[in-house]
Amino acid sequence: MMRALTRTAMVAGLGVALALPGTGAARATNHGEHWTATWTAAPTAANSSGLSHTGLTDQTIRNVVYTSIGGSTVRVRLTNRYGTRPVTFDAATVGLADGPAAGDVTPLTFGGATSVTVPAGEDVASDPAPLKVGTGQALAVSLFSATATGPATYHNAAHTTSYLAAGDHTADGDGTAFTGTTSSWFFVDGLDVPAPPHVGTIVALGDSITDGTGTADNSNTRWTDDLFARIAASPPGHLEAVADAGIGGNEVTLDRQPPLYGVSAQHRLDADVLDQPGVSLVLVFEGVNDLTASKVPADQVIGGLAAIAARIHDAGLKAVGFTVTPCGGYASCGADALAQRALVNDWIRTSGAFDAVVDFDAAVRDPSNPDHLLPAYDSGDHLHPDAAAYRKMAGTVDLTALGELATRHPR
C-alpha cells in the first residue's frame, strides 16, 4: 500500500556503488566503505550559442560545487556525454573553494595519468584524490584544455558562480587569473566520497523547481539543499547524501528544445539517477513543463511517471512521488493545463505507483486560490516557488520515513 511520506514509511532494499573507467574497483576503501555521490549536476548538450556552444580553447574552467556529505577522499566524475568530438583535459585539480581561489590544490589523475581524453558520448571518473572535505563544503574542480573542446557538455542553470582563466591555471591556489565568470558548470557532473554501508545518496529527479530557479545565485537554497540541511542536523545514524538531478525546462515525456532543457526524464533516468554511485532512494518531482510548455495530456504524463517508478523498482530501489505544484497565473498555465495538473496529482496521490508521496502542491498553494502559489511563496512568475517556499517544501518531508525508505547496503 502506498503511504504519504509526510506521515509514515515503508521498508528499504539494497544500495549501489558504480565503477567507471579509470576508477578501479567500485569499493572506495576497506572496512566496507563504498563510493557515494555527494554532489551531481545532470548534464545537457550545448546550447545553440554562447560559451557552451563555442566550448573552451587554451582555458581553465574552475567549477565551484558543493558537497552534501563529507569524506576523507574524493573522486571527480567528468562528462563528454553530449559532445561532438573527444575532449582532452590536459590537467585537472580539486581544492577547497573560496570564490575563485582553491587553496592547496590536489592534482587529479586518471589511471595514474595527469591528463585524460574523454570520447564523445562517454564519462570518466578520476582516481581517488586525498582531500578531506566537510559537509556542505565548497570545492573548486579546475579543468584545462589546451585544444578546442568543441560544444561542451554542461549544466546550464547552476545558480552558482564558476570561473574562467586563459591558459593553464589548474594548479593556482589563488584566484587572480580567473577574471571570467559563468553561471554554468562545464564538463563536471559528479563528485563522490567514501561512505559506510548505512549511508547512501538520495537522488532528486526534477525540473527547474528542483534545479533552484527562484533562488539567489550562490545561496544554496534549493529545496534539495534545505532537505539535506535537515538530514545533516538530525540525530547521528540518519545521514544520507542528497544529489540534485534537476534540469530547468525538463519534461517527463519529451526531449525538449533547446538542448539545455535536457532529454526527457525517462531517457535520462539511468545516467542521471540510477547510475549514481551509492544511490539509496529516488525522489520524482516532474510534470509541470509537460502540462504547460508542451501541452501534453495528463494520461501521457501519468504513463511516463508510471514507467519511471517501475524502472526505479526494477533497480531494487524505492520511489517517492511529489505532486506538481500550482502554476495558475503563469503564461502557459491556462485552464486546460490546470485541469490536467489536477488529474496528474490525483493519480500521484492515489495510484500506488510510488512507495510514498510528498504533497508539495498542498504545501505551497494558496488555500483561497488553490491553483495558484501562495503569494508569499511566489518568486514572481507564478510558477517557481521562492526560497521560503523551498524551505517549506523540504520541511514537509518526514525524515524518519525517508530514512526507512532508503537502502542501507551497496547494491
Domain boundary among 190, 223, 243: 190
Range of the domain at 274: 3-15+200-405
* Strand pairing category for 116-118 and 162-166: unpaired
End-to-end alpha carbon distance in the chain: 24
User: Could you tell me if 175 and 305 lie in one domain?
Assistant: no
Tell me: the pLDDT tens digits for 300-319? Answer: 999 999 999 999 999 999 99
Tally of CB atoms within 10 A around 350: 10
* Strand pairing category for 185-186 and 188-195: unpaired
Where b means 16+ CB within 10 Å and e means fewer, 307-321 reads bbbebbbebebbbbb
User: Could you tell me if 268 and 357 lie in one domain?
Assistant: yes
362: in domain = yes
pTM above 0.85, yes or no: yes
Domain boundary among 145, 168, 190: 190
Tell me: the pLDDT tens digits for 247-302? Answer: 999 999 999 999 999 999 999 999 999 999 999 999 999 999 999 999 999 999 99
Cα 353 from Cα 318, distance rounded (Å): 10
Domain count along the chain: 2
Identify the sign of the CA torsion 233, 386, 309, 250.
negative
Tell me: the pLDDT tens digits for 323-358? Answer: 999 999 999 999 999 999 999 999 999 999 999 999
Strand, coil or helix: 276: coil
User: Could you tell me if 269 and 382 lie in one domain?
Assistant: yes
User: Could you tell me if 322 and 215 lie in one domain?
Assistant: yes
pLDDT of the chain, 411 residues: tens digit per residue: 344 554 322 222 222 222 343 333 345 655 789 999 999 999 999 999 999 999 999 999 999 999 999 999 999 999 999 999 999 999 999 999 999 999 999 999 999 999 999 999 999 999 999 999 999 999 999 999 999 999 999 999 999 999 999 999 999 999 999 999 999 999 999 999 999 999 999 999 999 999 999 999 999 999 999 999 999 999 887 899 999 999 999 999 999 999 999 999 999 999 999 999 999 999 999 999 999 999 999 999 999 999 999 999 999 999 999 999 999 999 999 999 999 999 999 999 999 999 999 999 999 999 999 999 999 999 999 999 999 999 999 999 999 999 999 987 544
Domain boundary among 163, 190, 217: 190
Nearest partner of 202 among 406, 64, 53, 369, judged by Cα:
406
Cα 53 from Cα 151, distance rounded (Å): 5
User: Could you tell me if 298 and 347 lie in one domain?
Assistant: yes
User: Could you tell me if 243 and 352 lie in one domain?
Assistant: yes
- The residue ranges of DSSP E strands in 41-151, in sequence order, are 59-66, 75-79, 87-89, 91-96, 106-107, 116-118, 123-125, 138-145
